[in-house]
């Protein structure tokens, strides 16, 4: 269920530009999206795991705030990231 170190490095390399660029907004959103997908899969199998459900809601809110920040500061980067991750249809 946890994301491996190699997976994190590949996400940061793909979206942040370098494996050490962990602070970029795009990389953080991509990492949160990966964690949200993992927890969603877990909750489909374990419907009564309410603590994980609460954590999922927290992660979605955190991703939403990062996306709204990115939309205000870099609209073209926001649109490109949404397209890459396939978030909004």
Beta strands in 2-85 (DSSP E): none
pLDDT the model gives residue 88? 83
Percent of the chain scoring above 70 in pLDDT: 98
pLDDT the model gives residue 17? 87
What is the length of the chain?
A: 89
The Cα–Cα gap between 49 and 68 comes to 29
Residue 84 has pLDDT above 70, yes or no: yes
pLDDT band at 1 (very low <50, low <70, confident <90, very high): low
Domains of the chain: 5-85 (1.10.287.10)
The Cα–Cα gap between 38 and 10 comes to 16
Is 15 exposed, middle or buried (CB count within 10 Å of its CB: 0-12, 13-18, 19+)? buried
pLDDT band at 81 (very low <50, low <70, confident <90, very high): very high
């Amino acid at each position: 269920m946890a994301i491996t170190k190699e997976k994190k490095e590949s996400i940061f390399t793909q979206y942040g530009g370098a494996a050490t660029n962990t602070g970029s907004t795009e990389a953080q959103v991509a990492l949160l999206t990966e964690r949200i997908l993992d927890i969603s899969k877990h909750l489909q199998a374990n419907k009564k795991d309410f603590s994980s459900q609460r954590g999922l809601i927290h992660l979605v809110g955190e991703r939403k705030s990062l996306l709204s920040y990115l939309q205000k500061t870099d609209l073209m980067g926001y649109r490109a990231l949404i397209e890459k991750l396939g978030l909004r249809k």
